[in-house]
Amino acid sequence: GIKERTLVAVKPDGVQRRLIGDVIKRLEQRGFRLVGLKMLQASDKLLAQHYVSLQKKPFYASLLYYMTSGPVVAMVWEGHNVVRSTRMLVGSTDPAEAALGTIRGDFSVHVSRNVVHASDSVEGAEREISLWFQRSELIDWEGCDHKNIYH
Ligand code: DAT
Ligand code: MG
pLDDT tens for the 151 residues of the chain, in order: 889 999 999 999 999 999 999 999 999 999 999 999 999 999 999 999 999 999 999 999 999 999 999 999 999 999 999 999 999 999 999 999 999 999 999 999 999 999 999 999 999 999 999 999 999 999 999 889 999 999 8
The rounded distance, in Å, linking the Cα atoms of 21 and 113 is 18
CB of 65 sitting under 6 A from ligand 1: no
- How long, in residues, is the chain? 151
ipTM of this complex? 0.99
What's the whole-model pTM score? Answer: 0.98
CB of 55 sitting under 6 A from ligand 1: no
Q: Is 38 annotated for ligand binding?
A: no
pLDDT tens by residue, 30-61: 999 999 999 999 999 999 999 999 999 999 99
Q: Is 59 annotated for ligand binding?
A: yes
Q: What angle do CA 101, 2, 15 make, to 5 degrees?
A: 40
Of the listed ligands, the closest to the CA of 87 is: 1
